[in-house]
Structure 1
Amino acid sequence: MDIAEVAKRAGVPASTLRYYEEKGLIRSSGRLGLRRVFNANVLERLALIALGRAAGFSLDEIAPMLGDKGPPDIDRALLLTKADELDNTIEQLSAMRDGLRHAAVCTAPGHMQCPKFRCLLGLAAAGVISADRKPELVKKRRAKRA
């Protein structure tokens, strides 16, 4: 299958395929004229990469799981770590959503007089809720709960 066909079937640009090949995530089987040619199994590898990216894994984290030859060797411990990170992100986003909904309808004279809004400010200042994903924070918070 040439690079254009793979790009079409996988729904990614050919430039992404060339980049993935450069990073060692996929391998072409040769060339047909100037075009790279890939085996059909490249689509499964691309699906694994897409799934990993959707779950928040970096390409560097995905690469060892794909394996050099043979079936993928998915790191179960890394999956659990990522699941914990996602739990933390869900908790943060849920708290933020609930706080914003409350702030939108709060009857306090101003947001700074609203106890719930002030609590959100404190959590943000302490780094408990933030735009950054911090796996070490997840571990610390879970250890405190246990």
Structure 2
Amino acid sequence: MNATTYTAHPVKSARIHFRSAVGATLYDVRDALQYIKYRLVEAQLAAINVSSAEIVIAEVLNNVVKHAQADMSDGWFDIQCVETSTALHVMCKDNGCAMPGNTPPAGIMPPVGPRVSDLPEGGWGWSLVRSLTQNLRYLRVEETNMVSFKIPYTVPETTH
């Protein structure tokens, strides 16, 4: 293991918090992702784990803004991350519509045809979320959605 690219994790328990403005847009999602990435890199998290966190958090927040809050002018989201030595624990709250069936999508990969033109536009996001996370939970309390999960760290491969 190369100590310059990965440590068991130098931070005992870093906390990251971002709350969007009311009227959240995809620009707020971008700002949240940039801030979270900055903090994870600052905490010396391995690049592969920063990338996994970016993918998962981007999918969750994009779904909040594009779907749960599609017809809202007063939508907001709040995301909190707690870094431990083995995983990034994430809690995302928002005031959008409830998830259909009060459960996150199953994350079944869409069918793929033999040609690029046959690829479906959507359906990939929750498959990625489910494959990169553990303990995915959804809860609706009054008018607030709460999605929590952990992203276990991957030990980067070493090159010799």
Whether the TM-score (by the shorter chain) exceeds 0.5 is no
Q: In proportion to residue count, which structure has more strand?
A: 2
TM-score normalised by length of structure 1? 0.27
Structure with more contact order per residue of length (Cα contacts < 8 Å, sep ≥ 6): 2
Quick check: which has more Rg, 1 or 2?
1
